[in-house]
Amino acid sequence: PKGDVLATARIAGIQAAKRTSELIPLCHALPLSSVSIEEDVDTAAGTLTLIAEARTTAQTGVEMEALTAASVSALTVYDMLKALERGIEIASVALLEKSGGASGDWRRGE
């Protein structure tokens, strides 16, 4: 690989979350109070799960920022490992949960 894959993916995801309004048309710029990327490596299954969390004090949701962070983190992993494994697959990107804002709380599967 080109370097520390997970650290680079984490940095890329955080940077992407901060620039979501530049990447997604009509998406408002929001003040982010925190963005984090968690990794879960399952070597037996050969999978990597990336979970992004974004927070703001604004009165709106940060779903797009979290989804952008997760997506760009996954793309960064792909970019850094494609020379070693061409069959890498990015399987899914999904909102897991949301809290606060006008629409209230939501959790996938409930």
Which amino acid, 54?
A: A
Residue of 4, 42, 79, 105 marked active site: 79
Q: Where are the beta strands (DSSP E) in the chain?
A: 32-42, 47-56, 97-98, 106-107
CA distance to 2, 5, 39, 74, 94, per residue, from 10 (Å): 15, 9, 9, 9, 18
Q: Is 79 a catalytic residue?
A: yes
CA distance 66 to 88: 22
Q: Which residues are catalytic?
A: 79
